[in-house]
Amino acid sequence: MSRAVVLITAVLGSALAFAQRPSNPALLIPQSAPELDYVPVADPVTLPAGTLMGPPASVDFDSRGHLWVLNRGAAPLMEFDSDGKFLRTLGQGLFTRTHGLRIDGEDNLWVTDVAAHIVVKLSPQGQVLLTLGTRGQAGEWNEAAESRRFTEPNDLAIGRNGDLFVVQGHTPDQGDPRVLKFNKSGAFIQSWGGRGTEPGRFNVAHGIAIDAHGQLWVADRENQRIQIFDQSGKFIRELRYAGLPCRVAIGEQYIYMVNGFAGQLLRLDLDGRVVAATGKPGKGLGEFGEAHSLAISPKGEIFVADTVTSVLHKFVKK
């Protein structure tokens, strides 16, 4: 297997069917920036004969530095050691269309499912510990009406005290894109957002991350911006970009962002200014169908999940 890919043609058609490539060409113009000092690497992981990985939707690392790949295949969660050696799978039969993955401080795995409209917490052994939302039913989260429903939950972030922040609304111009906040036990606290272009509103609230100051960075994809909030939903500022900001990974020195169908991996400084970029649309090594999600390994490697070309990319420093 070559070109840093894990290609699973059996499920590629379904991935393309769900891909929401925008028709507005203005959304596909890449961000202009100097070249990033990282290069793509072929064969980022190895799979046993007969084991298939579906289109990668998200990636994250546990406390041991093991890579977890959330994919849209029959084995939705795959664990690899720090050298990319396959270890095991989890989550068979649990999900409809996986989207976001986060691993908490106890190595529990949190998965969002945009088609089943749920968020699921799994133990490291694969036991379901908590399910938020009503499986198969989209709608409003309204405790007074006893309606506990998401509409296409995309991603989540976990605060230092265990509070959970879920961003929902995957389909442009439909649904109710917003941030929903829960405590560590899954009790609803508040939500904010709604559709629009004004500060505090979203088109597609696609990704979320928490910085060192505890601020929430929300990738408002089709609005071509990152919006920053405090953990009570107070709007702080916005950062605008070319392309389609999908998700950010916040480190100690830099922030990295994937830029969707514009086909880029971007490096930002800690204030959100773009300082470097790599990639373009395509099917070659280091090229993207959709740069959908990313994670930074303890060794500084960057892994990018590409849902459209069914590719798991790995980039290392030159």
In the three-class reduction of DSSP (H, G, I as helix; E, B as strand; rest coil), residue 12 is classed as helix
**Residue 19, pLDDT score:** 58
- What is the number of other CB atoms lying within 10 angstroms of the CB of residue 136? 12
Q: Record the pTM.
A: 0.94
Q: Which two tokens stand for residue 68?
A: 């977890």
**Residue 18, pLDDT score:** 53
**Residue 204, pLDDT score:** 97
Tens place of pLDDT per residue across the chain (318 aa) = 333 333 333 333 333 335 578 889 999 999 999 999 999 999 999 999 999 999 999 999 999 999 999 999 999 999 999 999 999 999 999 999 999 999 999 999 999 999 999 999 999 999 999 999 999 999 999 999 999 999 999 999 999 999 999 999 999 988 899 999 999 999 999 999 999 999 999 999 999 999 999 999 999 999 999 999 999 999 999 999 999 999 999 999 999 999 999 999 999 999 999 999 999 999 999 999 999 999 999 999 999 999 999 999 999 999
Taking Cα atoms as reference points, which of 25, 83, 8 lies closest to residue 261? 25
| Residues 216-225 as b or e (16 or more Cβ within 10 Å = b) | bbbbbbbbbb
What dotted CATH number matches 9-317?
Answer: 2.120.10.30
Question: What distance in Å separates the CA atoms of residue 205 and residue 165, rounded to the nearest whole number?
Answer: 12
C-alpha dihedral sign at 100, 104, 107, 110? negative
In the three-class reduction of DSSP (H, G, I as helix; E, B as strand; rest coil), residue 145 is classed as helix
Question: What distance in Å separates the CA atoms of residue 275 and residue 31, rounded to the nearest whole number?
Answer: 10
Q: Which two tokens stand for residue 65?
A: 């530095």
Question: What distance in Å separates the CA atoms of residue 301 and residue 316, rounded to the nearest whole number?
Answer: 5
Question: What distance in Å separates the CA atoms of residue 279 and residue 179, rounded to the nearest whole number?
Answer: 30
